[in-house]
Amino acid sequence: MIRVADGQGDKNGVASAAEASASKSPASLRVRVLRQDAPGRESYWECHVIPYEANMNVISILQRIAARTTTEDGRKVAPVAWDCNCLEEVCGSCTMLVNGRTRMACTALVDRLLEEQPEEIVLEPMSKFPVVRDLMVDRRRVFRSLERVKAWVPIDGSYDQGPGPRISPEDQEDAYPLATCISCGCCMEACPQFTKVEVSRLAGESQEAFEARRKEAFDKNFLGAHAISQAMLFNSHPTGKMIADERMEALTDRGGIQMCGNAQNCVAVCPKSIPLTRSIARAGRAATLWAIRRFFDR
Amino acid sequence: MAGPRVLVIGGGLAGLSATMRLAELGIDVDLLSLVPVKRSHSACAQGGINSVNTQTRQQGDNEWKHFDDTVYGGDFLQHQPPVKEMAEWGPRIVDLMDRLGVPFNRTPEGFRDQRRFGGTLYKRTAFAGATTGQQLLYALDEQVRRWEVAGKVKKWEFWDFLQPVLDESGRCRGAICQDLVTMEFRAFPADAVIVASGGCGLVFGRSTMSMVCTGSAVSRCYAAGAFYGNGEFIQVHPTAIPGADKLRLMSESARGEGGRVWVPKTPQDPRDPRDIPDAERIYFLEERYPKYGNLVPRDIATREIFNICTNEGLSVEKDRLCVYLDLTHIPKETLDRKLGGILEIYEKFQGVDPRFVPMKIFPAVHYSMGGLWIDYERSASGGLVEGSPRNQQTNIPGLYAIGECDYQYHGANRLGANSLLSCIFSGLFVAPGVVASCDEAKKSEPGPQLMNDALKAQEKRHAELLSRPAGGENPYDLHDELGKLMTRTCTVVRRNDQLAEAYEAVCALEQRWQKCSLSDTGSWTNQNVVFTKALGDMFPLAKLILKGALQRDECRGAHYKPEFSMPGIEADDPAERRRLAEEWCDRFEENTKKWLKTTVARHGDDGHPVLTYEDVDTSIISPRPRLYGLVGGEVIEEVWRERQQARAQAAPQPATVGAGG
């Protein structure tokens, strides 16, 4: 169910799509890119036409654009800026809107995209994060959320203390999918409750003061599904749960779990098929219990 | 006076481990990376991490055997004390990662599960699904984030390291770096600099490596006078998924879990692979290497796959070289549990489910065994002296290298699941020595002029690049040419005539690079200029790799020249076999004397590498023929053993260090 939603389809669907499009593959591709030269500048559309090759993905399209830097109407332009690294959907860098949907550019296969929309491929930066340039956005808020929920195991230190706790295979199988979160930001992009926070440095403001103000702005706003899920991951770890209360505090603070409107978009767009709504449901129950406990502890 | 401050370049497993341990030791760390550290290339490591464990110990395994497997697998080219120390740290490191919350797969009783990897006979590899590198990286990333919140670590993400800054005495005093977003330059004074920047796969164009693995940070240290060791040793992984933008790794764990490599007996058999009966398939690794089967060391598996496709013409496809890697005999449920992550990659990029259809794979450049030359201090027991500032230090005092970008640990060929171990080990182990080095640095402080001059020089270089005239060479096209050239001449099979030609061709490409034009001359998030700089820094590496390969007239690990190969013994007559084995061993000894040496490259003033050769410390385990599945290996081994015994009787043994463990 989730697989279909994230655009991968069942195996036969993908295979047959690839075969079908191979038989009627176009000579070239028209790619429309929403560009922006720097933060605060106007965005504008630009079209590129590049030769079709078998087995292309959006990354290879952008590589061709970078090498050619000539638009559809023959103008020489600067290469489109974008973020990428591993190209195998494990680093979380290359998130963008491809044909209007948030996803990883590396696994966005051209043959599939042509099935969806044969006339052109449309690339836009994510809309919930400030644009740095073109398709590159500033996602430091993703990592700030991880700090807010203390997404780590609070070990005493890194010296040898023997092995970690014994863990049943069931618990490992429960935890592992949550631990595969690549911090790509898809869940935040798709979430109606997650809104853009763009803070720019004021004239005369020190770097430290600016960073503090930006952090404050992030912390007033929604954490995002990934951070809620990480909080649940560490609250279920035998050592991680030793600071479960601190995480519950963060989850029930401003910008916490109460912001979730249960739209369930997050789980539909997650490229790693992480059961985010299950984590959110667990976090919701835990938050209720925690609030009751706190009430009686007062 | 401010407390000690260390600059770490790169936030993969090695850089993060070092940062965590340094912060714990009270050092302030600047952690600088081209990408947010959580997105580092370590995330791509799939299969697992090696260490002896309670279970293998009871099957006869111990640290000594892990050490022995590593040096034997690496064809004895690595100095032995660091490897011995690493193998001894293995169990502690896996325990630590377990405590950090890495979701290692579990046995029904709740212990860590282990799988078997190449080059060993024990199930020594702990794993977290098929994304072990990702899980280890995240656990360290989380700890470093904790230190960041505590104020001990400051991250500089989306920053490029441009050069180390050396004072008059030749000591490293910090670095000049550039913000990839604002393009601002900044000097980072530091009491020590640790380079943890990973491999240089992009020198070969497409590889299994991530886009940041350009080798530029290492090349910039080399240009500043750091030595480079064993550059010609590049691991080509046997199994990758060919792709237009990159070659995606298919982990060795696919074979560790029982995956079988085969080709149809009929060249380019058009049938669906599932319809080809067993009798009409060649399981060539199992046939030729009955002991290790599909789990022979990587260099051997790679050559066999390459050979069966090119020389024997048995590639599965005609236009694209590939063989089958088959998992379809393994229950789907087992595959999902143990290999889910990597099978998903294949399915996502190829559109075919490898649980039901055999995968098509081919070798790809994967790992740099070579890297910055580093020192160590040997302990009386044959390991390392903990806390010595010499450990992991380059020939430039105060400049350290750890992880894939150092040349230690893996010799001529790396064993699977040893890279994660060497990265974390070198990161943790380097820290106390760096603290000692900081104390040394604090004895004198350079004036601000040193950093300012270096900063100005980098700004000038940058401005010159931006002002190059339009209409010149295209850097992306040049990179494509470089990659194709290096892949064709300097990977699986190497020939001297081709290497010599390639060296000339790389020099010509480097000349053309001087005439590169930028398509972006702006001063905001200019990826074009950053790439062009990194490309320029690939040529010195390409040259030292080629020259090292050209001069090394032998076969060792990943470095294979057919002209100098030592074929097995095919004769049947026992006396003849014996005679040939004697000859074989003579030749082996002669070759060991001549070539069991580290290649040390120094950047010459004329831009060409100057190579010297350094003896390898093999004092703990004496080199022996690497005979995995070689025809006639038994008789060679017999002759070899007799010679060793004779030698042992002739000379009274010096006290062997920790032999037998």
DSSP string, B594-636: HH-EEEEEEE-TTSSEEEEEEE---SSS------TT-TTHHHH
Average pLDDT over residues B494-507: 98
Smallest Cβ distance to B110: which of A86, A89, A166?
Answer: A166
Q: Is the pLDDT of residue A17 over 80?
A: no
Interface test with B, best of A176, A208, A239 (most B CBs within 10 A): A176
pLDDT of residue A272 exceeding 70, the answer is: yes
Confidence of residue A16 (pLDDT cuts 50, 70, 90): very low
Residue of A nearest to B131 (CA): A180
Classified as helix, coil or strand, B316 is coil
List, as ranges, residues 145-164 from A with C-beta within 8 Å of B. 146-147, 150-155, 157-158, 160-164
Residue B464 has pLDDT above 90, yes or no: yes
Work out the percent of chain A whose per-residue pLDDT is above 90. Answer: 88
Which of B25, B95, B99, B111 is the best residue to mutate to test the A interface, defined by the most A CB atoms within 10 Å of its own CB? B99
SS3 of B346, please? Answer: helix
Do B18 and B137 fall within a single domain? yes
B134 and A180 within 8 Å at the Cβ level: the answer is yes
pLDDT digits (tens, 9 = 90+) for B252-267: 889 989 999 999 999 9
- CA-based nearest distance A237→chain B, Å: 7
Taking CB atoms and an 8 Å limit, are A66 and B528 in contact across chains? yes
Same domain? For B66 and B184 the reply is yes
Is A79 within 8 Å of B104 when comparing Cβ atoms?
Answer: no
Is the pLDDT at A22 greater than 90? The verdict is no
Examine the domain organization and report whether B515 and B642 are in the same domain.
Answer: no
Give the Cα separation of A41 and A153 in Å (integer): 42
Q: Are residues B227 and B137 in the same domain?
A: yes
Q: Could you say which of B332, B364, B396 is where a domain stops?
A: B364
- Is the CB of B145 less than 8 angstroms away from the CB of A166? no
Query: For chain B, what's the residue count?
Result: 661
Region(s) of chain A under CATH 1.10.1060.10: 139-297
Domain annotation covers residue B138: yes
Burial class, B649, CB count within 10 angstroms (exposed 0-12 / middle 13-18 / buried 19+): exposed
How far, CA to CA in Å, does B195 sit from each of B372, B427, B430? 9, 10, 11
Task: With a cut of 60, say whether residue A12 has pLDDT above it.
Answer: no
Smallest CA–CA distance from A16 into chain B, residue? B351
Residue of A nearest to B242 (CA): A55
Cβ–Cβ under 8 Å, residues A88 and B44: yes
Q: What is the ipTM of this complex?
A: 0.93
Is B192 in the same domain as B54?
yes
Same domain? B174 vs B158: yes
Sort out which chain A residues have CB atoms less than 8 A from B250's CB and list them: none
- pLDDT value of residue A55: 85
Q: How many CB pairs under 8 A join A and B?
A: 198
Same domain, B622 and B646: yes
Query: Quick check: B212 and A85 CB within 8 A?
Result: yes
3-state SS of chain A?
CHHHHCCCCCHHHHHHHHHHHHHCCCCEEEEEEEEECCCCCCEEEEEEEEECCCCCEHHHHHHHHHHHCECCCCCECCCCCCCCCCCCCCCCCCEEEECCEEEECCCCEHHHHHHHCCCCEEEECCCCCCEEECCEECCHHHHHHHHHCCCCCCCCCCCCCCCCCCCCHHHHHHHHHHHCCCCCCHHHHHCCCCCCCCCCCCCCCCHHHHHHHHHHHHHHCCCCHHHHHHHHHHHCCCCHHHHHHHHHHHHHCCCCHHHCCCCCHHHHHCCCCCCHHHHHHHHHHHHHHHHHHHHHHC
On chain A, the residues whose CB falls within 8 A of the CB of B207 are: none
Scanning A47-86 for CB atoms below 8 A from B yields 53-57, 59-60, 63, 66-67, 69, 76-79, 81, 84-86
Cβ–Cβ gap A57/B99 under 8 Å? no
Q: Where in the sequence is the domain holding B585, given as residue range(s)?
A: 570-650
Chain B: nearest CA to A291, how far in angstroms?
A: 26
Contacts of B139 in chain A (CB under 8 A): 153
Inter-chain contact B349–A60, Cβ cutoff 8 Å?
Answer: no
pLDDT above 50: residue B439: yes
Q: What is the mean pLDDT of residues A12-24?
A: 45
Q: Tell me, what CATH number does B400's domain have?
A: 3.50.50.60
Residue A2 pLDDT grade (very low, low, confident, very high; cuts 50, 70, 90): very low
Q: Which of A81, A91, A157 sits opposite B525 (nearest CB)?
A: A81
- Whether residue A104 has pLDDT greater than 90: yes
Please determine, for residue B430, whether its predicted confidence score (pLDDT) is greater than 90. yes
Quote the pLDDT of residue A19. Answer: 44
Token pair of A195, please? 């809104």
Residues B152 and B16 placed together within one structural domain of the fold: yes
* Residue A11 pLDDT > 60: no
Terminal CA-CA length for chain B: 47
pLDDT at residue B345, as a whole number: 86
CA distance B133 to B46: 6
All residues at 6 or more sequence positions from A94 whose CB lies less than 8 Å from its CB, including other chains: A58, A59, A82, A83, A84, A85, A87, A104, A105, A106
Residues of chain B with Cβ-Cβ distance to A237 below 8 Å are 101
Kindly state the average pLDDT of the residues A218-225: 97
Partners of residue B210 in chain A, C-beta under 8 Å: 85-87, 91
Please tell me the predicted confidence (pLDDT) of residue B534. 98
Residue B636 tokens read as 């060679």
Of A63, A132, A152, the CB nearest to B145: A152
The answer on B630 and B587 residing in a single domain is yes
Nearest residue of A to residue B140 by CA position? Answer: A152
Chain B touched by A93 (CB under 8 Å): yes
Inter-chain touch B139–A163, beta carbons under 8 Å: no
Of A57, A139, A168, the CB nearest to B110: A168
Distance from CA of B164 to the nearest CA of A (A): 25
What order do you get walking across the sheet with B281-282 strand by strand? Answer: B248-249, B234-241, B359-368, B323-326, B260-264, B281-282
Query: Residues B240-251: what's their mean pLDDT?
Result: 90
pLDDT for residue B320: 86
Is it the case that residue B653 has pLDDT exceeding 80?
Answer: no
Q: Do B490 and B608 fall into the same domain?
A: no
- Best A143, A158, A208 residue to mutate vs chain B (most B CBs within 10 Å): A158
| CB B427, CB B93: distance < 8 Å | no
- Any idea what the CATH number is for the domain that residue B306 is in? 3.90.700.10
B contact test, residue of A152, A210, A211 with most B CBs within 10 A: A152
- Domain spanning A2-133, CATH architecture: Roll (3.10)
Stretch B447-470: mean pLDDT, rounded? Answer: 95
Query: Chain B residue closest to A140 (CA)?
Result: B36
Chain B residues touching A92 at Cβ < 8 A: 38-39
Residues of chain A contacting B477 with CB distance shorter than 8 Å: 67
**What confidence score (pLDDT) does residue B159 get?**
98
Find, among B2, B40, B4, the residue nearest to B144 by Cα: B40
pLDDT at B554 over 60: yes
> Considering only CB atoms, which chain A residues are within 8 Å of B128?
176, 179
Residue B132 resides in a domain: yes
How distant is the Cα of A156 from the closest Cα of chain B, in angstroms? 10
* pLDDT for residue A23: 52
| B557 domain-assigned | no
Residue A86 pLDDT > 80, yes or no? yes
Q: What pLDDT is stored for residue A238 in this prediction?
A: 98
**Whether A90 and B44 lie within 8 Å, measured CB to CB:** yes
Same-domain status, B166 and B27: yes
- Picking from A15, A107, A153, the nearest residue to B352 by CB comes out as A15
Kindly indicate the confidence band of residue B1, based on its pLDDT and cuts at 50, 70 and 90: low
- Looking at residue B623, its amino acid is P
Q: Give the end of a domain, one of B312, B331, B364.
A: B364
Residues 241-280 on A with a CB inside 8 Å of B are none
Answer with the residue of higher pLDDT: B118 or B170. B170
Contacts of B145 in chain A (CB under 8 A): 143, 146-147, 151-152
The set of residues, in sequence order, having a beta carbon less than 8 Å from that of A144 and lying 6+ positions away, is A215, A218, A219
Locate CATH 3.10.20.30 in chain A: 2-133
How confident is residue B350, by pLDDT bands cut at 50, 70 and 90?
confident
Q: Across the interface, do B129 and A86 touch by the CB < 8 Å criterion?
A: no
Task: Let me know if residue B64 belongs to a domain.
Answer: yes
Residue that the structure tokens 């072990």 belong to? B132
Residue B557 token pair = 């690990």
pLDDT band at B473 (very low <50, low <70, confident <90, very high): very high
- Find the CATH number of the domain harbouring B538: 1.20.58.100
Place of tokens 């990934």: A226
Cα A293 from chain centre: 34
Pick from A64, A90, A129, A147 the residue to mutate for testing the B interface (most B CBs within 10 Å): A90
Residue of B nearest to A179 (CA): B135
Per-residue pLDDT at A18 exceeds 90: no
Q: Kind and range of the H or E element at B360? A: strand B359-368
Catalytic residues of B: 298
Task: Taking the CA atoms of B545, B546, B549 and B550 in sequence, report the sign of the dihedral they define.
Answer: negative
- How many structural domains does chain B have? 4
What's the gap in Å between the CA of A296 and the closest CA on chain B? 31
**Position B661 in a domain:** no
Higher pLDDT, A137 or B320: A137
Among B340, B364, B388, give the residue marking a domain's end: B364
Name the residue in chain A with its Cα closest to that of B37. A91
Query: What chain A residue is nearest to B353 in terms of C-alpha separation?
Result: A11
Res B651: pLDDT: 76
CATH placement of domain A139-297: 1.10.1060.10
Whether the predicted pLDDT of B403 surpasses 50: yes
- Closest approach of chain B CAs to the CA of A297, in angstroms? 29
Over residues B373-385, mean pLDDT? 97
Tell me, what's the pLDDT at B652? 64
**A50 phi, psi to nearest 5 deg:** -130, 150
The model's pLDDT over B81-126, given as tens digits with 9 standing for 90+, comes to 999 999 999 999 999 999 999 999 999 999 999 988 878 889 999 9
Q: Over 60: is that where the pLDDT of A15 sits?
A: no
Sort out which chain A residues have CB atoms less than 8 A from B107's CB and list them. Answer: 169
Residues 6+ positions from B68 with CB-CB distance below 8 Å: B621
Q: What is the mean pLDDT of residues B168-196?
A: 98
Report whether pLDDT(B660) > 60: no
Asked if B48 and B77 sit in the same domain, the reply is yes
